Chain A
Amino acid sequence: MNRLGKFLQIDRRWIFLAILIAVLAPFIWPMGLPIVITKPVQDLYNAVDAIPPNGEPLFISIDYSPSTVPELDPMALAILRHAFSKDIRVAVLTLDPAGYGLAERALEAVAAEFGKERHKDYVFLGFQPGISAVVLGMGINIRNVFPEDAYGTPLSEVPMMEGIRNYDQIPLLITLSGTAVVEAWVIYAHQPYDAQIGAGVTAVMATDYYPFLDTGQLVGMLGGMRGAAEYETLIDRHDAGVRGMDSQSVIHILIIVLIVVGNIAYFGSRKRAPETAGGDAAA
């Protein structure tokens, strides 16, 4: 077996080790690579920024589970920090049962950071199953779908929800998700009720939702950890998103090198294989 062939037989655990080193090294020696703001992120930031303080609330739907926390949690924290720093009221809900604890944790942590008061500045509506039914129901009356907040307080007794009936009183709703829930918000909230929808999605889902930006069905979008890092840059509060971007860049370079070397090794070893086969046949 030639050298190229041997490369293809490499124990994959060496690649795992190389990836681990590529992730860890930038954490220990940060490089501070520049983060350029893209239009979809800037558009979402502008849409949040345009919400008047102490008025109608920004709705955030935490539609993700622990498996996508590294990408979507930094987005949730950054958006909440942006909103609370501008005294924008926030209502948080989740359409993913596993998102309940994540939503509560993020909301309470950032609210405490900014000294915000529950029911006056923010409310946690909790979880409701039946995605499309919930999204459609909110277009008629939020109280039909969320009669009370996550802790059992009727919405009629929550001061910041006074006068908030349906999407007409919601200036912007941002869904953070790694699934097709984003599409449900577009289909059942934007289309019939003209609700303004923004999205934060995992990188793997981002390509699916770019067409919704061009048509204005989404006002803006954060794609993956990169999107979170851009939003953190915009609010000038660097956290997990920015911290992870150096590792992201180093790993991408490593993967490109591995793809190139792997292809050279594959085609190189394939070129030589017929000669060997021919030799064997002649023998």
Chain B
Amino acid sequence: MNMTLIGTTLAALLTIAVYSFLYKDNPFYKFAEHLVVGVSAGYYLVIYYYNFIDPTVVSPVFRLRIGGDAILLGGVDWWMALIPGLLGLILYARFFPKIGWVSRWALGIYVGGYSGLGIAPVMQARVLDQIRGGALPVHALHTGQGWTNLLLVVGLLGTLTYFFFSLKHKGVLGGLARIGIVFIMVGFGASFGYTVMSRVSLLIGRMNFLLHDWLRIV
């Protein structure tokens, strides 16, 4: 019996153990659940250390190497590895109440940096480009695309109106808001359909694993 078969059989038994919960809670399910938590914690630790902490902090600071290239002790690259490393380390000051406030420095730099990096491209991607995408020509109603564009623009305006709360929803505004509700409901329906598809796919995936990879009967 080779290691692949042992691994596949073990995974298959764990899959069955997890699904046994659908009948009722039992020790096999509990065992599988705890195993996932424990293995995940160990796995994440090893992956983070060898893929990130070692090459970007430990190696440059202590072994004076970045990706095979030698660096100078006290040089720019050395400081660029040491300072973020120290900032990361002081995040753990929260575990010591007396010096817990130090962790806010690292957190402040982290939040500030990410905000600075994010605001402009997020505005561009999520707002400006979407406005551009919503500004469609609706005059060519002799084509299918023209009607599609009209539907999209009406849906967009209706949905935006529904979330406009500064005026009472009556008259034209109320009509548009009601159209908006229809589009929102269609959106929820599409999301629900896709969610069902996604969840069912997980079950199909496990059945495919059991029947194809493990038992090899399909």
Taking beta carbons and an 8 Å cutoff, which residues of A are in contact with B?
13, 16, 19, 23-24, 27-28, 67-71, 73, 97-98, 100, 126-129, 132-133, 136, 143, 147-148, 150, 153-157, 183, 186-188, 190-192, 202-207, 211, 214-215, 217, 223-226, 240, 243-244, 247-248, 251-252, 255
Query: Which of B22, B66, B187 has a CB less than 8 Å from the CB of A207?
Result: B187
Query: Which of B117, B129, B133, B207 has a CB less than 8 Å from the CB of A27?
Result: B207
CA distance A23 to B199 in the complex (A): 12
A residues within 8 A CB of B67? 143, 147-148, 154-156
| Minimum Cβ distance to chain B for residue A35 (Å) | 14
Known: A143-B67, A217-B129. A240 touches B205 (CB 8 A): yes
Q: Is the CB of B22 within 8 A of A16?
A: yes
Q: Is the CB of B44 within 8 A of A98?
A: yes
Between B196, B197, B211, the greatest number of chain A beta carbons within 10 A of the residue's beta carbon is seen for: B197
B residues within 8 A CB of A148? 55, 67-68
| Minimum Cβ distance to chain B for residue A152 (Å) | 8
Q: Is the CB of B208 within 8 A of A240?
A: yes
| Minimum Cβ distance to chain A for residue B160 (Å) | 14
Residue of A nearest to B68 (CB): A154
Which of B90-98, B119-127, B168-176 faces chain A? B119-127
CA distance A69 to B133 in the complex (A): 32
Interface residues contributed by chain B, number (CB under 8 Å): 48
Query: Which of B47, B121, B132, B203 has a CB less than 8 Å from the CB of A192?
Result: B121
New A-B pairs, 12, CB < 8 Å, besides A27-B211, A154-B68, A205-B198: A70-B204, A70-B205, A70-B208, A98-B44, A129-B52, A133-B117, A147-B69, A186-B125, A187-B122, A187-B124, A204-B198, A244-B201
Q: Is the CB of B194 within 8 A of A247?
A: no
Q: Is the CB of B208 within 8 A of A203?
A: no
Interface 0/1 of B174-216, CB less than 8 Å to A: 0000000000000100110011111111111111100110000
A residues within 8 A CB of B126? 187
Known: A70-B202, A215-B130, A215-B133. A204 touches B212 (CB 8 A): no
| Minimum Cβ distance to chain A for residue B113 (Å) | 8
CA distance A248 to B43 in the complex (A): 32
Q: List 12 A-B contacts (CB under 8 A).
A: A70-B206, A127-B52, A128-B52, A133-B117, A148-B67, A187-B122, A188-B117, A203-B198, A204-B191, A217-B129, A240-B208, A252-B196
Q: Is the CB of B114 within 8 A of A132?
A: yes
| Minimum Cβ distance to chain B for residue A52 (Å) | 28
Interface 0/1 of B119-154, CB less than 8 Å to A: 001101110011011000000000000000000000
A residues within 8 A CB of B206? 70
A residues within 8 A CB of B66? 147
B residues within 8 A CB of A211? 130, 133
Q: Is there a chain A Cβ closer than 8 Å to B165's Cβ?
A: no
| Minimum Cβ distance to chain B for residue A176 (Å) | 14
| Minimum Cβ distance to chain B for residue A36 (Å) | 16
Interface 0/1 of B29-51, CB less than 8 Å to A: 00000000000100110011001
Q: Is there a chain A Cβ closer than 8 Å to B6's Cβ?
A: no
Residue of A nearest to B133 (CB): A215
Q: Is there a chain A Cβ closer than 8 Å to B218's Cβ?
A: yes
B residues within 8 A CB of A13? 22-23
A residues within 8 A CB of B195? 203-204
A residues within 8 A CB of B108? none
Residue of B nearest to A226 (CB): B197
CA distance A136 to B44 in the complex (A): 24
Q: Is the CB of B121 within 8 A of A19?
A: no
Q: Is the CB of B68 within 8 A of A128?
A: no
| Minimum Cβ distance to chain A for residue B75 (Å) | 16
Query: Which of B52, B68, B191, B208 has a CB less than 8 Å from the CB of A243?
Result: B208
Q: Is the CB of B201 within 8 A of A248?
A: yes
A residues within 8 A CB of B124? 187, 191
Q: Is there a chain A Cβ closer than 8 Å to B118's Cβ?
A: yes
CA distance A215 to B205 in the complex (A): 33
| Minimum Cβ distance to chain A for residue B199 (Å) | 8
B residues within 8 A CB of A28? 217-218
Known: A187-B118, A225-B204. A100 touches B51 (CB 8 A): yes
CA distance A220 to B113 in the complex (A): 31
